[in-house]
Structure 1
Amino acid sequence: MSVSSTKIQNQSLFNISWPLFIELALHMGMGVTATLMLSHYSDGAAAGVGVANQLLGIFILVFNVTSIAAMILIGQKLGANELHKARRFARSAVGLNFWFGMIIAALVVVFGEHLLQLFDIRGEVLEYGLIFVRICGASLFLESLSLALSAVLRSHGFTKESMIVSVLMNVISVLGYAISILGIFGLPITGVVGVSWTIVIARSFAVLVLLYLVYKRIALTFKVKDFIKVNKQDIRDMLYIGIPSAGENLSYQFSQLMITAIVASLGDASLAARVYISNISMICYLFTLAIAEGTQLLVARYIGGKQFDRALKRGIKTLRLAMIVSLIAALVMAFIGQPILELFTNNYEIIAIGLPILWAVVFTEPGRAMNIVLMSSLKSSGDVRFPVIIGIISMWGIAVTLSYALGITLGLGLLGIWLAQGLDEWFRGIFAFRRWKSKPWERVKVNRSMKSHA
């Protein structure tokens, strides 16, 4: 089945974003479900897996070097009606991600314990985290491949197919978690070990189905040579966009590592509360992530087709919608905070710490919405360096520095740390808004590849 250029050009934000919303909801829902189920197994297990997930998330961002770049570049080529170049970028992205995944999986398995200790965790929290890192870390190459394959499908407009894979993965995960933690069907309770292997099985399934869907929908197949010899110009073009994009995300993850260490110094109750609130706050920015990714795809196409005014208006419209929805969602979570927290734990010390944080989430989320929507749109427009520069300045100068100052020095604890992160989100969001309004594509080259392949 070939891709229709007309169909791609006429896709709306709604048509692209609603499957992304469901896919992200399912993905986040699995994280929340795993945390919720593990919290009834052990607060230490929930905290350990939460920290381990944060560590693995840092490495998964490396895979986004190519998957994010491929999505933008394929979108630009489709917008310019250069379908053969779009297909070549797709092959290059999958091949490059395969090697990234293999190398990083090996590093995580070998150095996992040392990396976890950077979070300043100990005891059973460290033990549970190490089990999760060793098992799930070995399967990171599968995650790398699935991210690249999903990016290929999404960039061609097939967001529903990617969503279907997430639905099937969730079915596998829920069943696996239930067996591992609840011991249904009379099977032994395996806890974190069982949860970890469930994720490996789900990732394996996802790669096989995505390969089939890429062939079925785009008529794109992969040969052994696609994994051995990747087009050098494609690598340069993807890294030109991907490295700054990943640099921003890596800076964020490493700053979060430092903040997690600060939280850990407050005690296990604060650390567990942070894990639970982080899962709850995902609900608030779920809608934002979906429409931001949909907008990123559309902006890339508009820029490729030189429809600059259309790109500008699309970014502003999405921004307004994202800020309103995220604020409403955060307010709802704050008003019904106690029943939600009680779903995760009956430890009243954790609940007492968490309740005020939900009101800090109300302050944080509109700023996060501004940041997410406009920074991703800037990358699609070719302005890839600005987000990482502002990100590094703000994450370390505001988020990390003020987390220690407000949380430790002034004694506000986790509340002070969350307020510091909110200030970071607003700072970056405001700068992104000013940058977007200045029409950055008029000052920078849209993409170096557009010159090299002209």
Structure 2
Amino acid sequence: MQQADSSGKGGNTSRRDLIRGSIPRNLWNMAWPQMADSALTVVDQIADLFWAGRMGYRTIAGLGVAQIFMLIYSTARIGLDTGMRAMISRAIGANDREYANHVLLQALTITFIWTLLVGGLGIIFTNKLLSMVGVSAAVVELATTYMQLQFVAYSMQNFVRLTGGALNAAGDSINPLKAVTVSRGVHILSSPFFIFGWLWFPDMGIAGAAAANIVAQFLGMIMNLVVLYKGNSGLRLSLKAYRVDIILIGRLLRVGLPAAMTSMQRSVSQLVLLVGISNFGDAPVAAFALSRRVENIVSNTSRGLGRASAAVAGQNLGAGNINRAKSSLNWALVYSAILSAVAMTLYLLFTEEIATVFNGDPNFLAHMTTWLFILAIATFPMSSVQVLTHGISNTGATVAPMNITLTTMWLIEIPMAFGLAFLTPLDSEG
């Protein structure tokens, strides 16, 4: 059995020993790169919407609809990583590096099949998916090519997320952040070249933002794979003993499917809400799409914090340190409260300024400023829920978070939203 050196020697400088030392310090050292990683994922979506705003709010609406479908595609698969994260963190905590590599290989197998089937079908049926939402034909036309190219980009991102998640579970939070930072930087900086045809680049319109994302995600995927093959982060990817392990894949799916349901249904609920909002016109759709991306700055960052607490908890559970595992989640809630206070203050102080950056149409601004104000009030409960859900599920306990999320989302939030929108004068603000 090949074992990991928990001392951090032998070039394994990126991996942290999470079963000893200060819990809040260990958590923060693990959390800030994952929080930054998660925030950067939203920043590139917001950057796409910024360029879309230069072309009118209908382009914002089209990209917003496409991004929700991309979220459904990616968040469902990210949920499947939950079992992998839990097993790898416990294997590393128990000093069993060989088994951790075996788990990673099975997770890669699942992701390859998922990407081939779901991503391929998404590209084929893009136009039908956009049309079913109920937005105008102009919005569908603007978003079709963008969404097809994004299916390719997000298929690569599936492997960026999986390999980064494996490294995080092994205790390395820096190298995945490097990959995401380079990827996001390339996407944001190269997008206007593809969109407007600067220099020798093709003039692709807003679809150019998706083309830039393909290049960016490819770079991020290669960076993570190089780190894994070198084995400097407590986990070495080797194909020498690769075999399809149906039993282990079944275990990964049993743990991961409830988490996938939990993650995916949030995105599906956004799609359901979007169908209702499309009855009020393209401007509310654009405002809804943008406000959800701003919301994701808080929620995605909180998910990163929750996953970090799960990595700390998982390794301590593997080492038999139950109290340290519990304490990591408590400290994650403290950090989330601080994050929420900062976000709420910024959203309340700069509501109109944030909206105006994207588009100055009065109809769009009227909806956007109202939703940003509501979002500011909701930051604290939203952040805490994300930390708890991902902190608990990424240690392997996925059923309870799924049941709680499904109940609150589909029995409370969705019915209330439709009731307030269609049975009161609030309309789309409901």
Query: Would the TM-score normalized by the shorter structure come out above 0.5?
Result: yes
Question: Could you tell me which amino acid in structure 1 is paired with residue 350 of structure 2?
Answer: I
Q: Give the alignment of 1:199-348 within 5 angstroms.
A: 199-216=213-230, 217-218=232-233, 220-223=236-239, 226=242, 229-285=243-299, 287-348=301-362
For 2:115, the equivalent position in structure 1 comes to 101
Q: Are the counterparts in 2 of residues 38 and 181 from structure 1 also a CA contact under 8 Å? A: no
Partner residue, 1:163: 177
Distance 1:300 1:199, change over 3 A: same
Deviations along 1:379-432, one digit per CA (max 9) or x if unpaired, are 14443111111211211111211111012211213332xxxxxxxxxxxxxxxx
The one of 358, 368, 373 aligned to 1:354:
368
Match of 1:73 in 2: 87
Q: Percent identity?
A: 18
- What do residues 30-67 of structure 1 show as CA deviations (whole Å, max 9, x unaligned)? 11111111111232222111111111211112322432
**1:258/1:186 CA distance change after superposition, 3 Å:** same
Instruction: Assess if the C-alpha contact under 8 Å between 1:66 and 1:148 holds in 2.
Output: no
The one-letter code of the counterpart of 1:4 is D
Looking at structure 2, the residues matched to 3 and 82 of structure 1 have their Cα atoms a distance apart, in angstroms, of: 6
**What secondary structure, in the 3-state scheme, does the structure 1 residue paired with 2:250 have?**
helix
Q: Does residue 392 of structure 2 align to residue 383 of structure 1?
A: no
What secondary structure sits across from 1:184 in the alignment? coil
Match of 1:440 in 2: none
Q: Give 3-state SS (helix, strand or coil) of 1:242's partner.
A: helix
Higher helix share: 1
| 2:6 matched residue in structure 1 | 5
Provide the rounded CA distance (Å) in 1 between the counterparts of 2:60 and 2:4. 44
Mapped to 2, the partners of 1:380 and 1:283 lie a distance apart of 20
1:62 counterpart = 2:76: yes
Deviates more, 1:317-326 or 1:332-341: 317-326
- Residues 277, 285 of structure 2: 8 Å contact kept: yes
Cα separation, 2, equivalents of 1:334 and 1:395: 25
Find the aligned partners of 2:300 and 2:121 in 1 and give their Cα distance. 31
One-letter amino acid matched to 2:356: E
8 A contact 2:195–2:207 mirrored in 1: no
Quick check: 177-186 or 237-246, which moved more? 177-186
Say if 1:178 and 1:184, in contact at 8 Å, map to a contact too: yes
Of 15, 19, 31, the residue aligned with 1:17 is 31
- Alignment of 1:150 with 2:159, yes or no, is no
Displacement of 1:207 = 1.8
Q: Partners of 1:412 and 1:135 in 2: how far apart? A: 37
Deviation sequence 1:81-128 (CA, Å, 0-9, x none): 222211211121112211211111211122222222232122221112
Letter in 2 for 1:375: T
Q: Distance in 2 between matches of 1:349 and 1:141?
A: 35
Structure 1 unaligned residues grouped into runs of 5+:
417-454
**1:190 paired residue number:** 204
**Stretch moving more, 58-67 or 27-36:** 58-67
CA 1:138–1:5 in 2, change beyond 3 Å: closer, same or farther? Answer: same
Does structure 1 residue 127 correspond to structure 2 residue 127?
no
CA distance in structure 2 between the partners assigned to 1:124 and 1:258 by the alignment: 21
Total equivalences in the alignment:
414
- Superposed displacement of residue 285, structure 1: 3.9
Counterparts of 1:269 and 1:122, CA distance in 2: 11
Aligned residue for 1:41, secondary structure, equals: coil
Q: Which amino acid in the other structure matches residue 197 of structure 1?
A: A
| Change beyond 3 A, Cα 1:224–1:87 | closer
Between the aligned partners of 1:339 and 1:299, the Cα distance in structure 2 is 40
| Counterpart secondary structure, 2:134 | coil
Deviations for 1:329-363, whole angstroms, at most 9, x for unmatched residues?
A: 12221221111111011111111112222221122
State the distance in 1 between where 2:198 and 2:208 align: 13
Alpha-carbon distance in 2 for matches of 1:186, 1:98: 34
In the alignment, the residues of structure 2 paired with residue 2 and residue 163 of structure 1 have an alpha-carbon distance, to the nearest angstrom, of 25
Amino acid at match of 1:281: E
Q: What TM-score do the two structures reach when normalised by structure 1? A: 0.85
Q: Aligned partners of 1:324 and 1:414: how far apart in 2?
A: 31
Contact 2:3 2:95 in 1 (8 A): no
Q: Which residue is 1:421 aligned to?
A: none
Is the partner of 2:203 in helix, strand or coil?
coil
Q: Post-superposition shift, 1:260?
A: 0.7
